[in-house]
Every structure is written in structure tokens, then in C-alpha cells.
Amino acid sequence: MAPLWALLWALPLASLAARVAVVQSLLERRNALGSEEPPEIEDDPPLPEQWEKKIRVLEPLGQGGFGRVFKAQVICEESAASASALVAMKVMHNQRSSHEEVEALRDMRGASWYCAGAVGRPGHVKFEGQHYALMPFMNKGDLHEVLKNCYHSHACRCNRQPGEELCWEALGRPFSLDMVLALFLQVMKGVRAMHEHHIVHMDLKPENVMLHCTDGHCYARVVDLGLSCRSGRNCHSLGTVGYIAPEVWKGVRVGVPANDVFSLGVILYMLVVGHPPPFHGDRDGESTTHYKPHLDRYIRPWFQRPLGHLMAKMLNLRPLRRIPLERAIDELKGILLNRNLSQEILQMMEHNPEETGAMHPLPQCLEKDAGARKSLTGLLGLLALSALIFQ
């Protein structure tokens, strides 16, 4: 059997009888909004005119089949807050998935603290045949990296018997099981916001959950909407092997919220149990479509606690019987509130990241419409010229 790190790092190719599109490799896409080890990218991209006086590109963060991502500094205000304000600029190739991602980013603008959305005004621009989008910069990498650190730590993987909790505290402050579950609750809220806007993510996995921390206060955000589908539209089977819902493997009920709930159930399993579920290496859907949570010896001991029941409900094979996301959120809230939570975790559950100090607001100058200002300047110039002519 392959080691756990291999299961996490590898992105095996899938065949869904030409129905499932294989996503870009993990090396191309991981840490797209906050990599600490960016690949070499030759040239900084030219900036659209609307952003030339608003941001300055600092360094590349990642690249892949979708395009490139850069870290940029906000420069439209001369203040300490502006000097430390960062955004991520994504430059996408002119392809169908880019159109769909830009559309999703536009619709999710301001919709949730916990889901990617365009920031700035304009938040997205088509320039020199490519799509540009500004998004919040996340400074602590992705949830995959956190899982990898725990899986590689004997101290963190202290659960010698199924049903025992991982020792997340071994990773240092602020980590604990309560913190990890609170971050996962934020992820669920971000996905809920997408569903409220009739968008199904279709590629939920730890690599697509980014983290941001300020002075020990952290929050999570769902990113990478490139494979998202509109509910009710014809949606192709998409996703990453190991997180694909059984009905998606079968090509039925694709592009519905229940698809995302299953993927979230896989992530919760990994956070609680300490390794991927047994179908994680499934290449053809066979083991996923026959998975039965009550026969899984790793989560069966958890059935004595509500968290085990929640995992089983989220991983139900039948999408119509799978727990709805809103109810899953309520159940996880109840589970957390029954634990001896610190004040910090309670604040994470009750307040947004700005209120908890996990993030600082972006400078207001980023939200000023450069196009409108340019039009106003032009209009004032014409009025001045008219006044001179008719004097």
C-alpha cells in the first residue's frame, strides 16, 4: 500500500468513460494563492491600465494549465496599512474554464468571508487576450500542507487506536482539534454561500482550502472556482480522484450541492481520522461507489460520538439521503459547542475574520472605480475646454 504522503501528494489520472475531466496536476495547482515555494516564472505580466496605479506585482506564486498567479502589493495609498496590504492576481488563459471562473468570482464578490471572490474595482479585467482577477492573498498556504505536516509528525499522529483524536497541538499554536474543526466549519460556510448563489464547486479538496493568519488568529477560505458548475445547467463530471462523489462517477445527478457535501465529508474524515478514506486511490470509481461508512473500521469507533455520525451522513452513497449542507453545518456547530471551547474558538464561530483580527481590511482606494474616475477627469477637461472656447 502506498504511504499516506504519496496518497496526498499524488493526483492520479482518472477515467470516467470520457465524462470526468482530469484537473491539472497537483504540482501546478497547489498553493495557487499563497505558495511559499513558487515555481520559476520568467516574466511579470503587464498590468491592465485600470490597475497600474493600484497594485505592484511582487513575486510569482504559482502556475499551471489555468495560467499564473502573482502576489501584489496595494500602492494606491501612502499609508502603513496600504504598504502591508497584499492581493493575489490571477492571470488566466482565454479558455472556457477561465470564463466560468471569472463569472463565479464576480458573483461571489462580497458574498462570504470564506469563499474566493473578486476584490477591487474592477475585480476582473480582460487584457491582451487573458483574464485577470484580483483576490484576497492568503499567507499560510493550504489545508493540504497542514495535513501533510500532521501526517509526517509522530507527535501529531498520536491516535494509536481508531476512534482516538489526533494531537493537533503538536503542530504548535494555534492548532488543536477544536481549531481545525472551526476552520472546517468556515469552509462549510464558504461552500454554503456558493450554493446560495447556485454555484457548485465540484473540486473541493484540502489543496483548495487556503489559510490566512494574523497574530495567531486564523481563518479559512475556499478557492479555485475553475471547475465550478451552475446548478441546473448541464454540468460535466469534474473533480479530483479521491474526492469525487459516487453519483459523479456514475454520471448521474452531477452538479448538485450533494456532490460538494460528499467531498467535504472526505476532508472531514482526513482531519479527524488522520488519513484518507479507503477509496482515496480509486481510479475508476469502483471502490467509491461501493463504500459503506458503517463497515469502515477507522470511523466505526467514532459512531459512539456525534462527529462519527456526521462523517457517515456526509459520505452516504445516495445523494438524496446525504445530509444537506445546512444541516451538516448546524450539527458541526452543535458538536463544537458541546466541547470545552476556548474564547478564541467561540469568536471564530461567532465573528468574521476582521472582527477576530485574522485579517485586515483592504485599503478603500482599491475599491475606487478607476474607469469612472478617468471618465470624470475627461468630462471636467471637456467642460474646461468649452469654457475657454466660449469666453
Lookup: cell for 93: 488563459
SS3 label, residue 79: coil
CA distance 372 to 54: 14
Q: How far is CA 213 from CA 34, 105, 288, in A?
A: 12, 22, 35
Element (H, E) at 136: strand 130-136
Q: Which of 244, 307, 12, 31 is nearest to 143 (CA)?
A: 31
CA distances for 193 relative to 1, 45, 101, 161, angstroms: 38, 32, 16, 37
Strands of the sheet containing 55-64, edge to edge, are 55-64, 67-74, 86-92, 130-136, 124-127
Residue type, 277: P
**Of the candidates 225, 236, 277, 244, which has an alpha carbon nearest to the alpha carbon of residue 12?**
244
Distance CA 322, CA 227 (A): 22
**54 marked as part of a ligand binding site:** no
Cβ(178)–Cβ(165) below 8 Å: no
Helix axes 343-350, 325-337, angle to 10 degrees: 160
Please give the annotated binding residues, written as ranges. Answer: 90
Please give the annotated binding residues for ATP, written as ranges. Answer: 90
